[in-house]
Structure 1
Amino acid sequence: MQPVILFIHGFGSNGFGSKAQIMRDYCAAHDIRFIAPSLSHIPALAWQTLTELVEQLNAMLAPKQLCLMGSSLGGFYAHALAQKYDLKVTLINPSMHAGKSLRRALGQAINYFDDSPYEWRESYVETLQQLEPHYPSALTPQTCWLLVQTGDELLDYREATAALPDAKHTIEQGGDHGFVDFARYPKEIVAFFSAAL
């Protein structure tokens, strides 16, 4: 049985970002179902979309077949969903405290898909603070794989390692927030998700 992978993109991004596309191409070549929705920038709407999607997929799939991936803000959502629904998850340079880190983005923001502007509001930050799980997380090396690069210019990787003390950790020196050379990892991520299926 193959995993079904739900990828959750980061702030201002979309389901066609570079990491999502790398995973999409790998999964297509290996007959693995892959879903990367383009979510609303409004956290309450994004969260509703994600919870409905997870619940519908879980109802159709075998137990533990649905697996999550998230990058940056998507990592925040993916971690919260993994805890809520007891799912395996891979987190790539995730934001663990998205309400705090995205407070600095208040005002005009840019959607990377078409460079269109949108407003990032205080109420959105408050929603993220309400969604934040309790830390440290109870996720284990069997259920959570954290991939971080120390050169992340937007997030301190140590926040993620502290919040996920019992997860599987891969800490690479250097790199950046986009996670340099992510294309090295799709095969390993699928193997991680496939274990015990």
Structure 2
Amino acid sequence: MGSSLGGYLSTWLNNLYGFKAVLINPAVKPYELLLDYLGEQQNSYTHERYFLEAKHIDELKALEVNELTSPQDFWLLQQEGDEVLDYRQAVSKYRKSKQTVEENGDHSFVGFERFPEQIIRFLSL
């Protein structure tokens, strides 16, 4: 299960290992989004400082899965009101997968607490 960048990484891990994944407002092309943040950054929670470099963008790009080999392994939970990501990219990429697309909401996926039981069943946990 992954949200935002975690959804991107879950897609890559599915491609390697073939497990099911639930993607919550996933980043589809994070390497494009992060270009504006090259240089010194600060973690907003820990206040740790770090440098985002072009090589990190390249590393993310190398993890991209262009074609889903098992689209039935994915469940997309997407809210159209995501203020960080263009929800249409995820709807398009995971078009052959199970999808729950809701109007409004935001990047945090408002009302997520409605889904854990269904997620557990989908993932066969």
Counterpart of 1:180, as a letter, is V
C-alpha root-mean-square deviation of aligned residues, in Å? 1.5
Structure 2 partner of 1:144: 74
Aligned counterparts, 1:39-58, within 5 A? none
1:181 equivalent in structure 2: 111
* Match status 1:89 vs 2:21: yes
Structure number with greater CO (CA < 8 Å, separation at least 6) is 2
Q: Give 4+ residue runs of structure 1 displaced > 4 Å after superposition.
A: none
Q: Which residue of the other structure, out of 155, 170, 187, is the alignment partner of 2:100?
A: 170
Contact 1:138 1:166 in 2 (8 A): no
TM-score of the aligned structures, taking structure 2 as reference length: 0.91
Identity of aligned residues (%): 39
Tell me which residue corresponds to 2:39.
107
1:139–1:166 Cα contact (<8 Å) kept = no
For 1:2-151, what aligned pairs fall within 5 Å after superposition?
69-135=1-67, 137-141=68-72, 143-151=73-81
Structure 2 letter corresponding to 1:174: N
Distance 1:183 1:87 in 2: 23
| Secondary structure of residue in 2 paired with 1:108 | strand
Q: Residues 138 and 164 of structure 1 are in contact (CA less than 8 Å); yes or no, is this contact kept in structure 2?
A: no
- Using the size of structure 1 for normalisation, the TM-score is 0.59
**1:97 & 1:165 partners in 2: Cα distance?**
16
- The alignment partner of 2:6 has SS state of helix
Query: What amino acid is aligned across from residue 75 of structure 2 in structure 1?
Result: W
- Does structure 1 residue 190 correspond to structure 2 residue 120? yes
CA–CA separation in structure 2 for the residues paired with 1:164 and 1:87: 16
Q: Could you tell me which amino acid in structure 1 is paired with residue 34 of structure 2?
A: L
Contact 1:75 1:92 in 2 (8 A): yes
Q: How many residues align?
A: 125
| CA distance in structure 2 between the aligned counterparts of 1:98 and 1:84, rounded to whole angstroms | 19
Residue 73 and residue 193 in structure 1: after superposition, are their counterparts in 2 closer, same or farther (change >3 A)? same
